[in-house]
Structure 1
Amino acid sequence: MQKILETIINDAIEQSQYATLFSQLIDSKPHLERTKDKKFGDFSSNIALRLGKKLKRPPLDIANEIANSISKKNFLEKIIVEGPGFINFYISDNAYHQELIKIINASNKYGLSNVGKNINVMLEYVSANPTGPLHVGHGRHAAYGASVANLLKATGHNVFQEYYINDAGRQIDILTISVILRYLEINKINVPYPNNAYQGKYIVDIARAVNAEYNDSLTKYSKNICDEINIFNGDEESLLDHIIVKINEFISSEIFNNIKNIALELVTNDIKKDLNEFGVKYDRWYSEKNLTPKKIKNTIAVLEKNNYVYKKDGAKWFKSSDLGDEKDRVLIKKNGSRTYFASDIAYHLEKIQRGFNYLVNIFGADHHGYAPRIKASLEALGQNKDIIEINIVQFVALYRGATKTQMSTRSGKYITLRELRNEVGNDAARFFYIFRSNDQHLNFDLELAKTQTNDNPVYYIQYAYARISSLLNQADIAKENLNEMLLSNLCKEAEQNLMVIASKYPEIIESSSANRAPHQLAHYLRDLAAAFHTFYNSERILCDNSAMKQSRLFLCLAIKIILKNGLSILGVSAPKTM
């Protein structure tokens, strides 16, 4: 509806004396906004104020000229100029009736657009280290990322979803030694277990899989391993590095890597299964191992050629501070090993080389300062730094009563995403995760998520859908009878309010997509459900008057379509009965 009005205004201005100035100076947009108070119409534009500033003419005069040049046709009831030059537009009842017909005819395609046509977007999210099951914090990333992907698709973007598997590096080595130590315990070896090794029960499960392959053949190294742990004099993190080196020496790198692969496969498959059950599906699971030393070396070579690398204290540094970062970053450590950042640079360059013209990364709050350095690296590589967008998802605090749970993968004291899903259900989890803006901390209320009351927003919305389904099952409506004359019966306040809110859906989808803000859609659906419940409670829908009943049922059908379309984008089901 907003686009129709924008077209009407644009056509009028293009025929006026302001056409050239309008197109050149203010991006050819009338900047329409929905009014908060119905007494100021349905939409308002400040176009005259903006033109007046450029022309140095009274905005009120310009506003009246524009208003008088616009043809009202069947879409507009009236146009009123208010205050210093605001143009307020009053949409006709007939226009809202036409929108209802459009909703019903478009059905599951209502609200879709092509604003992102021919834009190839690479969306990377979750990408948790494969060192243990996903916890509830990862769940928020998954729900947010999947919803953003669906919104981008709804606005015509070509979306490719990717999970970056960090399956190389120190954390994976720590996972491996954790498994080996638990394997020794399974074989009745009393081995000291480091505090900073991975502690969860899943480590024991992986150790059993290792035991199934090796039986007790590796226990012959247990004394050497125990001695190295007992005699080591240093901090906990250094102890882990020491154990990694020594176990590699004792059992051989070949066996060490085989156990690593067993652990990685089991953990990664568990993550894939968990996300798939959560309704989150990727186009590709990209292994860090694909970033060969040659690829990383070639990427650093480009940085060196462009004079953005220098040596200091035996290490290679990237001059990221020259390009907006707060400090320079190490690429290659003095021991010759590469940093995670070096791999990330190569990975993002490869994304661009794969043909994606926009990169959207969704990271956790611990990556808050990541944007400047990765943008700097792309600029240093001769790429457009604005091709990448980084969205931060804040922490989740999960409360069970007054107790706040921990979420440390190493300590093993955390609630997994699977446990949360089993307790509150996928629908509640998906909805609650995105109901608050991603840049705000989330306190996940387990008890509220499980209640079947109006205070639970997902239940409230689904209940509206189920109510409509029940109504439509009780009476037949003939689509061939759908016309503006029939819908003219919808003149009660609750009916008109419901039609106005329904007409906002396409605007909400475009705004939610552009701002990567699925919470906007979630709040809209709650408001739409509230308006429907008000209508349901105030008007008798299955009344004796046939025409009135048919018109109200068509209104219900339109709301049902929008609720289902919106819930689908958020990954939430629309049950017909509750």
Structure 2
Amino acid sequence: MTPEELSALVKTTLTEAVAAGDVVLDSIPDEVRVERPKSRDHGDWATNIALQLAKKAGTNPRQLAEIIATRLNEHEGISAVEIAGPGFINITLDAAAAGQLAQQIVEAGDSYGHNEALVGHTINLEYVSANPTGPLHMGHTRWAAVGDAIARVLRASGAELTTEYYINDAGNQMNVFADSVLAAVHGEPTPEGGYPGQYIQDLAAQITAERPEIKDLPRDEALPVVRELAYSGQLAQIRKTLEDFHIAFDLWFSEKTLHDGGKIDDAVATLREQGHVYDKDGAVFLRTTDFGDDKDRVLIKADGEKTYFAADAAYYLSKRERGFTEKIYLLGADHHGYIGRLKAIAACAGDDPETNIEILIGQMISVKGARLSKRAGNMILLEELIEWLGADALRYTLARYPTDSPLDVDPELLQSKTNDNPVFYVQYAHARACNAARNAEAHGVDRSSFDAGQLSHEREEELLAHLASFPNTVARAAELREPHRVARYLEDLASAYHAWYAKCRIAPSTSESGETEPVSDLHRGRLWLNDAAVQVLRNGLALLGVTAPEKM
């Protein structure tokens, strides 16, 4: 019995009690939440539905809990129901009902863990969005890993999601970038305030190879050509690095299209219609102080130049026009000041800043022993971190911790093949379970039949309990934007699997005389349970963008 099935059973029981006149309620909740109790001594599952509804039912929680418990005890698959504290209902499943989950997980396959917690939510998730003037570096690494993991749990929880990379390809930094590359084309020093690093030289060499005539063009003619070619080359390198990190965006949105397509002017006009734009000293302002910002923001300067803030406003309105009711921004540690102004844009546009926009700030990471890049000169590159530590270890570690605190990554730990290394520990559990299945099948054990009642060992009960809580873990990770919950869950599951593996043989044993016991329903049942663990470990790692090796 899955948690969803048990939840539906509690709801059915409550409905029956209302129909029989035992309980008076105008309505019954669409969903009854069941959760794992902190102690296994309190049963397999618990619900606080009686505490939630007692006041509406005109009774005290324990009386309502007793009514529900009495009816629950009559249903097949329920071993015991007890009332605890002020009215918590603790439920214990019988072995067959609990064990049935193993078969359900195997048959569900990759979809197990998917849930409907966010069905009906239309979300735009923007993250990384680094300037295309250089390679991705360590400052982008955390949100690259965590942002993609958030996207995966959102989709697994039913959200209609678009992931987006905002390309800052407008503004003066692109001119400085082009000047830097053009100087390299001519073998000149980096201009003052320009971009240093070998990657600039590499781009210059690439452009010269493609367009050898570029050196002979007047600078005013060469500059726009170099700008476009360098931009394309650098953006391609960024895409490649993200692919190596197992990340693919649904949409790459160019800031330049906001300027070229008149979207910024349209945005200013829209905000003016909303009554939040005013003119002062020749400039155009958005009255963001009405919504908590520390000062009103300039949209258009007195000389007619559009500000970065104007582009931010136009970009927000673009997301709104494209039908995204929820916009999530993942920003770096130095962007705290953006929270108030972005929420103010949402409010000025007529949205609810508490529900239509969400801004998450990720703290910086450091990596012990990391060296500045020879290519970039003044930064630690993501591509070099991937080569050094491996995409799996880096992604898992970055997703394993809440993003609101700094993180110091230990390379020696990440590269160690010990149980102290969390990603190794989880991947090894998956590989071990795959090997256990191969060994069992070599001894004639298959999944031709399944007697769920055979899975009654206490370690089996514990493992089944962990497997059952996976969908709820995914849902909570999605709702709270906290994929580290999946990582910590996987470590607990791996521990439960290893403990089960040590006590419960899947393959038939062989006596000292060389006789092998016949294959039984117990062996087959344990193979089902083993393969259910394989599936959940694989599904969980996939949500973090981490591979699940079958051999290690």
Partner of 2:514: none
8 A contact 1:13–1:19 mirrored in 2: no
CA shift at 1:121, angstroms? 2.5
Q: Which residue of 425, 440, 461 corresponds with 2:390?
A: 425
Residue 10 (str. 1) matches residue 11 (str. 2):
yes
CA shift at 1:54, angstroms? 5.5
Q: Residues 511 and 284 (structure 1 numbering): CA distance in 2 closer, same or farther, change over 3 Å?
A: same
CA shift at 1:462, angstroms? 1.1
Residue 312 (str. 1) matches residue 313 (str. 2):
no
Residue 561 (str. 1) matches residue 535 (str. 2):
yes
Residue 209 (str. 1) matches residue 209 (str. 2):
no
8 A contact 1:74–1:94 mirrored in 2: no
Comparing 13-22 with 273-282, greater Cα deviation is found at 13-22
CA shift at 1:490, angstroms? 2.4
* Code of the aligned partner of 1:206: L
- In structure 1, what is the Cα distance between the partners aligned to 2:24 and 2:175? 66
Partner of 2:459: 494
Partner of 2:513: none
CA shift at 1:206, angstroms? 1.9
- In structure 1, what is the Cα distance between the partners aligned to 2:51 and 2:539? 38
8 A contact 1:131–1:264 mirrored in 2: yes
Comparing 538-547 with 417-426, greater Cα deviation is found at 538-547
Residue 62 (str. 1) matches residue 64 (str. 2):
yes
Q: Which residue of 286, 299, 303 corresponds with 2:271?
A: 303
Residue 463 (str. 1) matches residue 468 (str. 2):
no
Cα offsets for 1:200-239 (capped at 9, x unmatched): 21112123334444668469xxxxxxxxxxxxxxxxxxxx
- In structure 2, what is the Cα distance between the partners aligned to 1:11 and 1:207? 70
Partner of 2:251: 284
Residue 390 (str. 1) matches residue 359 (str. 2):
yes
What secondary structure is seen at the aligned counterpart in 2 of 1:316?
Answer: strand
Partner of 2:316: 348
Partner of 1:259: 226
Q: Which residue of 73, 77, 80 corresponds with 1:78?
A: 80
Comparing 5-14 with 497-506, greater Cα deviation is found at 5-14
CA shift at 1:30, angstroms? 4.2
Partner of 1:48: 50
- In structure 2, what is the Cα distance between the partners aligned to 1:569 and 1:192? 43
What secondary structure is seen at the aligned counterpart in 1 of 2:331?
Answer: strand
Q: Residues 575 and 55 (structure 1 numbering): CA distance in 2 closer, same or farther, change over 3 Å?
A: closer
Partner of 2:173: 171
- In structure 2, what is the Cα distance between the partners aligned to 1:140 and 1:432? 9
What are the within-5 Å matches in structure 2 for residues 100-115 of structure 1?
A: 100-115=102-117
What secondary structure is seen at the aligned counterpart in 1 of 2:448?
Answer: helix
- In structure 2, what is the Cα distance between the partners aligned to 1:8 and 1:36? 22
Q: Residues 390 and 99 (structure 1 numbering): CA distance in 2 closer, same or farther, change over 3 Å?
A: same
- In structure 2, what is the Cα distance between the partners aligned to 1:408 and 1:381? 46
Partner of 1:333: 301
Q: Residues 387 and 263 (structure 1 numbering): CA distance in 2 closer, same or farther, change over 3 Å?
A: same
CA shift at 1:167, angstroms? 0.5
Q: What is the TM-score normalised by the length of structure 2?
A: 0.89
Q: Residues 412 and 334 (structure 1 numbering): CA distance in 2 closer, same or farther, change over 3 Å?
A: farther
Partner of 1:244: none
8 A contact 1:303–1:309 mirrored in 2: yes
8 A contact 1:317–1:332 mirrored in 2: yes
CA shift at 1:372, angstroms? 3.1
Residue 20 (str. 1) matches residue 21 (str. 2):
no
Q: Residues 472 and 255 (structure 1 numbering): CA distance in 2 closer, same or farther, change over 3 Å?
A: same
* Code of the aligned partner of 1:11: T
8 A contact 2:128–2:330 mirrored in 1: yes
What are the within-5 Å matches in structure 2 for residues 425-464 of structure 1?
A: 425-464=390-429
Q: Residues 493 and 514 (structure 1 numbering): CA distance in 2 closer, same or farther, change over 3 Å?
A: same
Q: Which residue of 181, 196, 199 corresponds with 2:196?
A: 199
- In structure 1, what is the Cα distance between the partners aligned to 2:234 and 2:41? 59
Partner of 1:511: 476
Aligned pair count reads 532
CA shift at 1:407, angstroms? 9.6
8 A contact 2:36–2:44 mirrored in 1: yes
Partner of 1:231: none
Partner of 1:228: none
What secondary structure is seen at the aligned counterpart in 2 of 1:32?
Answer: coil
What are the within-5 Å matches in structure 2 for residues 212-231 of structure 1?
A: 212=209, 213=211, 217=215
CA shift at 1:295, angstroms? 1.2
Cα offsets for 1:88-119 (capped at 9, x unmatched): 22222222111111011112222223444454
8 A contact 1:48–1:60 mirrored in 2: yes
Partner of 1:181: 183
8 A contact 1:22–1:51 mirrored in 2: no
* Code of the aligned partner of 1:378: A
- In structure 1, what is the Cα distance between the partners aligned to 2:502 and 2:59? 51
Cα offsets for 1:534-563 (capped at 9, x unmatched): 222233332335223222222111100111
What secondary structure is seen at the aligned counterpart in 2 of 1:34?
Answer: coil
8 A contact 1:59–1:84 mirrored in 2: yes
Give ranges in structure 2 of 5+ residues lacking alignment.
Answer: 510-516
What are the within-5 Å matches in structure 2 for residues 260-275 of structure 1?
A: 260-275=227-242
What secondary structure is seen at the aligned counterpart in 2 of 1:359?
Answer: strand
- In structure 1, what is the Cα distance between the partners aligned to 2:539 and 2:405? 26
- In structure 1, what is the Cα distance between the partners aligned to 2:310 and 2:537? 45
What secondary structure is seen at the aligned counterpart in 1 of 2:79?
Answer: strand
* Code of the aligned partner of 1:8: L
- In structure 2, what is the Cα distance between the partners aligned to 1:419 and 1:507? 36
Q: Residues 52 and 119 (structure 1 numbering): CA distance in 2 closer, same or farther, change over 3 Å?
A: closer
Residue 370 (str. 1) matches residue 362 (str. 2):
no
8 A contact 2:190–2:196 mirrored in 1: no
Give ranges in structure 1 of 5+ residues lacking alignment.
Answer: 220-249
CA shift at 1:292, angstroms? 2.8
- In structure 2, what is the Cα distance between the partners aligned to 1:76 and 1:366? 53
Q: What is the TM-score normalised by the length of structure 1?
A: 0.86
8 A contact 2:103–2:529 mirrored in 1: no
Q: Residues 464 and 256 (structure 1 numbering): CA distance in 2 closer, same or farther, change over 3 Å?
A: same
8 A contact 1:399–1:405 mirrored in 2: no
- In structure 2, what is the Cα distance between the partners aligned to 1:98 and 1:216? 70
What secondary structure is seen at the aligned counterpart in 2 of 1:481?
Answer: coil
- In structure 1, what is the Cα distance between the partners aligned to 2:321 and 2:125? 15
Q: Percent identity at matched positions? A: 36
How well do the aligned residues superpose, as a CA RMSD in angstroms? 2.6
Residue 575 (str. 1) matches residue 549 (str. 2):
yes
Cα offsets for 1:309-341 (capped at 9, x unmatched): 223344221111102323221211233211112
